[in-house]
Chains A and B, each alone.
Chain A
Amino acid sequence: MIQQIKSWLEDATVDIFIGYRDVDGHAVPHGYTADRLEELGNWTVGTHRYPLETFALHLARIHPEATIGLLGRDCNQRALNVLSVWNQLHADRIRVLSLSCCPSALKTRADCSYLVPRKSGSFKHQVGVDAEMEAAELEALPSGERWARWAYEFQKCIKCYGCRDICPVCFCAECSLESDELVGTGKLPPEVPIFHLVRATHMAGRCVDCGLCEEACPADIPLRLLYRKVNAIVEDLFGYQTGSDTAQPPLSVLGDRVELEPLPMEKTG
Chain B
Amino acid sequence: MTVKRVRFIQELLRFVGLEGRVHLEWISSAEAGKFVQVVTEFTETIRRLGPNPIQRTVRPFKASGPRRLGTSSAPSEAETDAESSEEPAAASHL
Contact = CB atoms under 8 A, between A and B. Distances in A.
Interface of A: 123, 126-127, 135, 138-139, 141-152, 155, 188-189, 192-193, 197, 200-201, 204, 226, 229-230, 233-234, 236-238, 250-251, 254-255, 258, 260-263, 265-269
Interface of A is mostly: helix
Main secondary structure of the interface of B (DSSP, over half): helix
Contacts of B4: 237-238, 250-251, 255, 260
Contacts of A262: 3, 6-7, 23-26
Interface of B: 1, 3-12, 14-20, 23-26, 38, 41-42, 44-45, 48-49, 53-54, 57-59, 61, 74, 77-78, 80-81, 83-88, 90-94
Contacts of B12: 197, 200-201, 229-230, 233
Contact of A142 (B1, B61, B88): B88
24 contacts: A138-B15, A142-B92, A143-B91, A144-B85, A144-B87, A145-B85, A146-B15, A146-B16, A147-B87, A148-B85, A152-B81, A155-B59, A193-B54, A233-B12, A251-B5, A262-B6, A262-B7, A262-B26, A263-B7, A263-B23, A265-B38, A266-B94, A268-B48, A268-B93
